[in-house]
Amino acid sequence: MAKHNHILDTVDECITNGVKNQVLHLVSGGGHSDGRTISVNGEKLVHFASYSYLGLETVQRLKDAGINAIQKYGTQYGCSRAYVSIELYEELENLFGQIYNTPVLIAPSTTLAHIAALPVLVKDEDAVIIDQHVHSSVQTTVKLLKVRGIPVEILRHNRLDQLEDRIKELKQNYRKIWYLLDGVYSMYGDFAPLQPLYQLMNKYEQFSIYVDDAHGMSWQGERGSGYTLSQINLHPQMILVTSLNKAFAASGGAIVFPNKEDYRKVRTCGGTLIFSTPIQPPMLGVGTASAKIHLSPEIKTLQNNLSERIELCKKLLIKHGIPVISNNDSPIFYVGTGLPKVAYNLAKRLINKGYYTSVALFPAVSMKCAGIRFCINLHHTLEDIRQMVFIMADQYPLALEEEGRTFKDVYQAFKMNVTEERPLNAVENGKKKLSVESYRTIKDVDKKEWDGLLGYNGSFDWEGLQFMEGVFNGNPEKESNWDFYYFIIRDGNNHPVLATFFTVVWCKDDIFSPASISEQIEQQRKNDPYYLCSKIVMMGSLLTEGTHIYLNREHDQWHEAITMLLQQVTQIQNEAGATSINLRDFDAQDVLLNDLMIGEGFVKVDLPETSIIAKEKLAWKKPEEYLALLPYNARHNMRRDSVKYEQFYDVEIIKNATDGDIRHWYKLYKNVKSKGFELNTFDLPEKFFKALVGHPQWEVIQLTLKSEFNDREERKPIAVGFIYKTNKTYSPMILGLDYYYLFAYKNYKQMLYQVVKRANSLGMEKVYLGFTATLEKQKLGATPFAKVAYVQTSDSYNMEVLENHQQRGKERVKIFTEFFEKTSKKNA
C-alpha cells in the first residue's frame, strides 16, 4: 500500500504554489523602514500585513532602550535563565505584574511559553479540549500532552453548547477539564465567547480555560492588558498567555497566572525556561520601554486612535460590499476569496496598485476558504485605509472574473448569505465556447458515446452504471442510496473535451486511514454508527475502479473544461449539503494537473496503490506459458501457492443462485469486510448480491473444496469472487472468504489465480485488481500504480478529529515501542 499523504506534503505544495504565484516568500529591501511602507522588488508598497497594531516598533524610546541595553549588556546573554538572568528580566516581569496585577512569567516566545506552561499545568489525570481554530503553537504543544496519554478532543469553533456537554461527561472521570482557545483568532480576527466561558468556570469547579491572547495584546484592555481581560476578569481557573512580538513591539511571550504557586511551578519546571536561551538584552530593553508606555495614559490615546481606523475600515468594507468574513472590532480583517487562485490573483493586483496584504492559505485555513488577510495599524493614515479598500473593491470583481468565479462562490464557501446568481452552463474563451451537458441517469446518455469515452476504462460502462443506479436506490440505510450525476463538456464543434460521473454518498472519513486507526474508530461506531462519517461528492463511486474521467489533454481548453466541471460539482455539493468533493484515481506524477487543482482549492491525498494486469500478461494459451511471463520468484510462488492447490477445488462460474447461496456468499463477504480496514467502507446491501446474479456483465466465481477434501458436514463454497466484465476489462470488485481454510488450502491465492485464468479465457485486455495486497498481486504479474485523489472540504472538522485519532495512534505505538525496548534491555 502507498504511504498516506502527510500533511507536510500538502503544506509544501500549497506554499510552493504561492511562491510560484509571487505572493509568498517575498523579500523586503530598501534599507530604512518607516513602518508604513515596505519595498518589494524595488516597488514601494503600503504595508497592510503588519501585526504591530499600535505602531510602537518605530517609537524612538523603544529604539533607544534597545541600544542602551546592548551598550550595557552586549548583544546577547548566553546563559539559561534557570541559572542566572540579567536584571532586565526581573524589571520586565515587575512591569507586567503592574499591567496585570498578578504574577507574570516572561518566556522567550509565545510558543515556548505554551511549551513551558501546558505540560506543567495539565496533569495526567486531566482531559483537554481544544478549539478547532486555536493557534498552531497551542496545537503543537498539545502533542506533548498526547504522548503522556492525556485525552485530547477537538471542539467545533466557539460551540459552547457542545463544550458544556463534554464538561458534564468528562468531569466524572477527570481531575480537570481544560479548554484551550484564542482570545482573538489570528486568521479571521473573530473573538472567543469569553463571558459565557466565565460563567462555565463559575458553574464547574473542574473546568479551566487556557487562553492565547497574542493578537489581543496592547490594543485593548486596561493598561493594554489585552482583549480577553477587556471582556472578563482573570478567573482563578484561568491561565492567560500573550505575546510581546505583536502590538507590544518587543520580543517574547508572557504567562499570566491567577496565583503565585502556578507561577512558581512553571518557573521552576517549565522545560523551555530551563533549557532554552533567554530573550536577549536589546529586546528586554525594548520590552521595558514598551511596558512603561502601557502603564502610562498614552496607551489609551493609542488605543483610541487605532479604534478610529478600525471603525473606518469596517464601514468602508460594508459600503463597498466586500465579503469580509468577520467584520468586528479587531484590527484583523479577512476578505474571503474561496479558492487560492483568486487569492493569488487579488493579492498580485493589490501589489500592482501599491498595497501589500497577506494571502491566507492552507494550513492556516481550509483549502476552500482562502482569502486576503490584512491588518490595520497606527502607521496607516485614514487616507491609506480609504484608498486600499477602494482599490480592493475595484480589483476584486476583476480577479473573480479572470479566474472564472463570482461572489456567489465566495458566499457559499464561507456559508454566507448568497446575493448573486451565476450562470453555470458555459465558459467563454475567445471565440470558442465550452458547454456542459448534465444528466441524472445514465439512461439519458448516449450509450455508444459513453462507452467510447469511458466505458472500457474500468467497471463503469453504460450497462454497469445502469445496474448500480438500480441497486443503490430505495434502500433503508442512507449509505446504500447513491445519487448519480453525469457530465459531458463539449467545445464549439460539439466535440467532447471532458466526460465523467459523480456519486453523492455517505462515506467513512477514515476510508484511506491506516487500518489500526479504523479499528479504533469502529469501536466507537458500535454506539454511534455514523461517527466520523460524511456525505461527499465523489468522482466515480465506491464500487468502481479505473480512470473515471475522459479528458482530452490535447485540447487547448482542457483547463477551462475542468474549471467548468468543478463549478458544476460545487453546485451539487451545496445542494446536497455534502462536506467535501473527492476527485479520485489520478496519476501521482501529473504536475500540470496538480498545480491547477491546488489553485482550485484542492488538497492532494495519496491513495493506496492500485494493481493492474496488462494485456501482455494475458496473452497465453497454457498456464505454463503464463508462468513463464513472470519473474523467477513470482513464478516459484505461483507454482507453490496456487497451481499446486488447484487440484483441491471445484471451480464454477455461477449463473443462477438460491437465496441460501446468496446468504452464504454474503457471510463470506462479511468475513473479508470485517477484517479489511485498509479500505474502510460501509457494508454493501445484500440486495446488491441478489441483483448481480444472472446479469450479463457480472460474473460469480465460486471455489468449493472437492468432496474428498471437505471436512464439514455441509459442502459449501469457501471462496467467492464477484467480477464485472466489459469486452476488454475484467474487474474483480468483491471477494468473500472462509478464513478457516486460508492457510490449509490457500483459498485467497487460488481465487486470484482463477481470476487471471478466467480473464485469459475471455480474451480480456486488462484486469483491474484493486487496492490493497499489492505484493500478493505483483506475484500474479500485476503492476502497481501510484494514484492520488484531490479533496476539497467545506467543513474540515471531521478531518481534524481524524488527524487527532491518527496522532494518538502514532503516540501509542511510540510509547509501546519505548516500553518494549526498555524492557528488552532490562531482561538482557
Amino acid symbol at 773: A
DSSP code of residue 641: I
Q: Which of 565, 580, 412 minimizes the C-alpha distance to 507?
A: 580
pLDDT of residue 174: 97
Asked if 709 contacts 665 with a C-beta cutoff of 8 angstroms, the reply is no
Task: Count the alpha carbons within 13 Å of 30 in the hemisphere toward its beta carbon.
Answer: 15
Q: How far is 19 from 692, CA to CA, in rounded Å?
A: 52
Cα–Cα distance measured from residue 625 to residue 98, given in angstroms and rounded to the nearest whole number = 88
**R_g (Cα) of the chain, nearest Å:** 31
Burial profile 292-329: b = 16 or more Cβ within 10 angstroms, e = fewer? bbbeeeebeebbeebeebbebbbebbeeeebbbbbbee
Q: Is 572 exposed, middle or buried (0-12, 13-18, 19+ CB in 10 A)?
A: middle
CATH (one of 3.30.1330.10, 3.30.450.40, 3.40.50.10490, 3.40.630.30) for 426-608: 3.40.630.30
612-788 and 426-608 share a CATH fold: yes
Cell readout for 532 is: 466520523
Q: What single-letter DSSP state applies at residue 454?
A: I
Task: Report the chain's terminal Cα–Cα distance, integer Å.
Answer: 35
Q: In what order do the strands lie in the sheet with 610-613?
A: 649-654, 698-705, 719-725, 729-737, 766-770, 610-613, 783-785
Query: Which of the following CATH numbers is that of domain 612-788: 3.40.50.12370, 3.30.70.260, 3.40.50.2000, 3.40.630.30?
Result: 3.40.630.30
- Could you read off the pLDDT of 15-24 as tens digits, one per residue? 787 788 788 8
Specify whether the CB–CB gap between 675 and 516 falls below 8 A. no
Architecture in CATH of 60-294: 3-Layer(aba) Sandwich (3.40)
Q: Please give the distance of CA 708 from its chain centroid, rounded to a whole number.
A: 55
d(CA 509, CA 489): 30
DSSP string covering 464-511: HHHHHHHHSSS-SSGGG--EEEEEEEE-TTS-EEEEEEEEEEEEETTT
Residue-level pLDDT at 515: 83
Backbone angles phi, psi at 518, to 5 degrees: -60, -35
Of 305, 387, 390, 379, the C-alpha closest to 37 is 379
Fold of domain 7-51+301-413: Aspartate Aminotransferase, domain 1 (3.90.1150)
- Reduce the DSSP state of residue 377 to 3 states and report it: coil
Which residues, at least 6 apart from 226, have a Cβ–Cβ distance to it below 8 Å?
Answer: 183, 213, 216, 217, 218, 220, 240, 242
pLDDT of residue 2: 36
Average pLDDT score, the chain: 90
CA distance 143 to 95: 33
The cell for 462 is 453504460
Rounded CA separation 293/273 (Å) = 27
Ranges of residues in the chain whose predicted pLDDT is under 50: 1-5, 421-431, 811-828
DSSP string across 709-770: G--SSS---SEEEEEEE-SSEEEEEEEEE-GGGTTTS-HHHHHHHHHHHHHHHTT-SEEEEE
What are 698's strand-pairing partners? 724
Cis preceding linkage at 340, omega within 30 = no
Residue from 733, 735, 724, 765 nearest 462 by CA: 724
Q: How far apart are CA 199 and CA 190, in angstroms?
A: 20
Annotated domain spans of the chain: 7-51+301-413, 60-294, 426-608, 612-788, 799-828
Q: CA distances (Å), 309 to each of 139, 223, 376, 380, 386, in order? A: 32, 20, 7, 8, 10
Instruction: Provide the whole-model pTM.
Output: 0.80
Question: Strands 37-40 and 28-29, how do they pair?
Answer: antiparallel
Q: At what angle do helices 7-20 and 591-599 cross, to 10 degrees?
A: 90
Tell me the C-alpha distance between 170 and 173, whole Å.
6
Measured CA to CA in angstroms, residue 588 lies from 554, 593, 606, 608 at distances of 20, 10, 8, 11
Q: Based on the number of CB atoms within 10 Å of its own CB, is 132 exposed (0-12), middle (13-18) or buried (19 or more)? A: middle
Locate all alpha helices (DSSP H) within 130-259, ordered by sequence.
136-147, 160-170, 194-203, 227-231
Q: What is the pLDDT of residue 824?
A: 40
CA distance 371 to 373: 6
Q: What is the pLDDT of residue 615?
A: 92
C-alpha cell at 502: 459523480
Which residues lie below 8 Å from residue 627, measured CB to CB, with a gap of 6+? 635, 638, 639, 643
Q: Which three cell numbers mark 165?
A: 456537554
